[in-house]
Amino acid sequence: MPLSGLTVLSLEHAVAAPFATRQLADLGARVIKIERPGSGDFARGYDDAVNGLSSYFVWLNRSKESIALDVKSPQGAEVLRELADRADIVVQNLGPGAAARLGLSADELRGRDPRKIVVAITGWGSDGPWADRKAYDLLVQCETGLVSLTGTPADVAKVGVSIADIAAGMYAFSGILAALYRREITGQGASIEVSLFEALAEWVGQPAHFAAGKGRQPGRFGAQHPTIAPYGPFVARDGHTVLLAIQNDPEWTRFCETVLENPALAQDERFASNNLRVAHRDELNAVISARFAELSTQALEARLAEARIAFAGVNTVAEFLDHPVLHARDRWRDTATEAGSVKALLPPIDLGVEPRMDAVPALGEHTGKILAELGRDPTTLAKSSPQR
């Protein structure tokens, strides 16, 4: 596999770092996950939805090896240092200053081995006025203005997934791949930092440019597009919600002719351009809603397809799980856990080889194996590293 032969040591918890390292594991890297004895990654306790296991942990930690280690004990600190020195890549998303206190700063690790790639995922950056401030996903959504963009005119809303963590994990993953490429050329590793705040700041780039250019806050339009119309959800006669997306004037004309069966509407002075349609959004939505209420979902989708208009069903998560595209493209695999096999989606990067989809580890499952590789007697860490 593309990353076979590489070893990643990760002091990780929650979402951001585990998401980055799981993708490295997907591509064949060996990922050794340091966990707290007794409790482990606190994402293990977020819920019990997957046969008693956390949905977060099952999603983020397949194909990894778990070692339960008290890194603050003298023996645990020795093991940690030895594992860090053997690893190609060291990743951590610990609290401010914690990595340095453990001897895992980029300067210290790369001082011993310039080829090492050392990754820190922080909340607000390792310096600056908020360096010591805690950062959780929703706090970052709020501070970047994302929450102000999400919801309806009456109420703000958060994004329904951990988007700041995911953004930071994606940039950490891509940064590691870039660093590996450079190391092949120069022989030098890298010191990488990704903050949740700056990762999500990049993702709100378009509304940031809009606000700076227009001098005003973008609006909140629920599931409608803020600057394109019609682009949003409408309800068919049978109660199913269909989201349609008109991208240009030729599509608008075809939509009026074929779907609404009202060609004259395309030339209505209120709706003759996208800017005008946005300005008269409420009137436009009323016209479309009235027509959609007369058509079944099947008839409506047939007309949208004939007019070459993009559309989608507004699915529940349960409907997504049974999506025909996922089944037709054979995207599901069985993944083992300590509580039995679960279905998991293949990662979206297709490199022409079957991705690694190994088991989700139990807490400390690989402690004995890893200590034996280091030539250490597992019983010497029995109190600080319980095995399962």
Tell me the C-alpha distance between 388 and 208, whole Å: 49
Determine whether 77 is exposed, middle or buried from the number of CB atoms within 10 Å of its CB (0-12, 13-18, 19+). middle
Report which residue type is found at 208.
A
Let me know: does 200 contact 141? Beta carbons within 8 Å: yes
CA 158 to chain centre: 15
Q: Kindly report the backbone phi and psi dihedral angles of residue 31, in degrees, each rounded to the nearest multiple of 5, phi listed first.
A: -110, 115
In the annotation, is 165 catalytic? yes
Catalytic residue among 26, 132, 165, 268: 165
DSSP element (H, E) containing 289: helix 281-292
Quote the crossing angle between the two packed helices 163-186 and 16-26, to the nearest 10°: 50
> Which of 16, 22, 30, 110 has the alpha carbon at shortest distance from 65?
30
Residue 150 token pair = 């999400």
CB 253 within 8 A of CB 277: no
CA atoms within 13 A on the CB side of 359: 13
Tell me phi and psi for residue 4, to 5 degrees: -60, 140
Which of the residues are catalytic? 165
